[in-house]
Structure 1
Amino acid sequence: MNHTILIVEDEKGIRETLAIFLRNQGYSVIQAINGKDALEKVTKEVHLAIVDIMMPVMDGIEFTCKVREEFDFPIIFLSAKSEDIDKINGLNVGADDYVTKPFEVSVLLARVNSHIRRYEQIIRLKQTTSNSKKLVVRGLELNQDTKEVFVDGRQIQLTAKEYYILELLMSYPGKIFSSEEIYETVWKEDAISTQTIMVHIRKLREKIEVDPKNPDYIKVVYGIGYKIEREK
């Protein structure tokens, strides 16, 4: 599969340098100078976006909020800021990863390759519609073949990470998973910080719960972890 990367970066030097390295890796590249420009260029052919946070006209946060209304491809944020609050804000609006400037291009490319592999797996699974495998917990339904999720018959859009967290919890209703277990299962790497899990759980609740502050499905067991409730 020929993968297309969208680079959204107002600094021409960074944007064009990344484009050169990505093309050398075999990727097709679309360049945009800000979020507004990127929204006009984004299509279903985009497999991943590298997005700067601080940009004129429309910044990376606003762009991600808008693009997440329709698309679920991975988004890697770039920012000159290193404070934890910026990372949390980025994850809150739907980013999948975060790289702080200045960065090693080789490290960014490794993350791009990793996210593309996982996203490609999801695309392939969505194309398989036979022998459908479903997980059902009350009004919550997850199709493991098509990667579709429904709440009371209404389809909802999840990011890749949100989907895999929900799939893990729904596969074992009532079982409590610690934040570390969730991170290591979904990210497939050692858990260094589990704050990401808290952010993703909150976003999941906003999408599947009638009242996210009083959830019926995803419950927290304080000091231990999270679980999907079998019954109300």
Structure 2
Amino acid sequence: MDIFVVDDERIIAETLAIILRNHGYSAETFFSAEHALASIGKSPRLLLTDFRMGRMSGIDLAMEAHSRIDCSVILFSSDLQECDREWQMLQKRDSRCTLLRKPLHPARLLQQVRLSLSTEPRLGLHVS
């Protein structure tokens, strides 16, 4: 499995997965962090997740996933200032994470997915 797409807004998760599949990636959608975590044994190479969701946030999902598997993470949010403190904490633990602003333009998303899945060393980016 290439990518887990996680968003509690079903239309966003499904749309992102369609974009990824149309560009040759295998993508599985989840509508909660808990459901994605329950399937983490499938070892996705990339976790693409909304920052803010129900009971479990994208940050919580990223940290828990990293304790179980080796994968990159792209988090996205419409309010980057709101998530700044949690983002800084995650960056200190793991630089394989990237933060993108919603709405996600398909070209920018695909560019970041390619970077995140590359075998070159990755640095987390805070993209406005």
Range into which the TM-score falls when normalised by the shorter chain: 0.7 to 0.9
Question: What does residue 53 of structure 1 align with?
Answer: 51
TM-score by length of structure 1 reads: 0.47
Give 4+ residue runs of structure 1 displaced > 4 Å after superposition.
none
d(CA) in 1 for partners of 2:113 and 2:24? 12
Map Cα deviations across residues 177-229 of structure 1 (whole Å, 9 max, x no partner).
Answer: xxxxxxxxxx5xxxx98xxxxxxxxxxxxxxxxxxxxxxxxxxxxxxxxxxxx
Question: What does residue 100 of structure 1 align with?
Answer: 101
How far has the Cα of 1:74 moved from its partner?
0.4
- Percent of matched pairs sharing the same residue: 28
d(CA) in 1 for partners of 2:43 and 2:32? 19
Question: What does residue 34 of structure 1 align with?
Answer: 32
d(CA) in 2 for partners of 1:93 and 1:61? 11
How far has the Cα of 1:69 moved from its partner?
1.0
Q: 1:12 and 2:6 equivalent?
A: no
TM-score by length of structure 2 reads: 0.82
How far has the Cα of 1:75 moved from its partner?
0.4
Q: 1:91 and 2:83 equivalent?
A: no
Q: 1:109 and 2:107 equivalent?
A: no
Secondary structure of 1:68's match? helix
Q: Runs of 5+ in structure 1 lacking a partner? A: 122-159, 162-186, 194-232
Whether the 8 Å CA contact 1:34–1:56 is kept in 2: the answer is: yes
Whether the 8 Å CA contact 2:4–2:30 is kept in 1: the answer is: yes
d(CA) in 2 for partners of 1:40 and 1:99? 25
Which of 25, 42, 45 in structure 1 is aligned with 2:23? 25
Map Cα deviations across residues 150-187 of structure 1 (whole Å, 9 max, x no partner).
Answer: xxxxxxxxxx65xxxxxxxxxxxxxxxxxxxxxxxxx5
The alpha-carbon distance between structure 1 residues 55 and 17, as it changes in their structure 2 partners (threshold 3 A), is same
Q: Runs of 5+ in structure 2 lacking a partner? A: none
How far has the Cα of 1:85 moved from its partner?
3.2
User: Which protein is bigger by CA-based radius of gyration?
Assistant: 1
d(CA) in 1 for partners of 2:41 and 2:2? 10
d(CA) in 2 for partners of 1:38 and 1:113? 21
d(CA) in 2 for partners of 1:108 and 1:28? 15
Larger RCO of the pair (alpha carbons < 8 Å, separation 6+): 2
Secondary structure of 1:46's match? coil
Counting only pairs closer than 5 Å after superposition, residues 57-96 of structure 1 correspond to structure 2 as: 57-83=55-81, 84-94=84-94, 96=97
Whether the 8 Å CA contact 1:35–1:59 is kept in 2: the answer is: yes
Q: CA RMSD of the aligned region, Å?
A: 2.3
Secondary structure of 2:69's match? coil
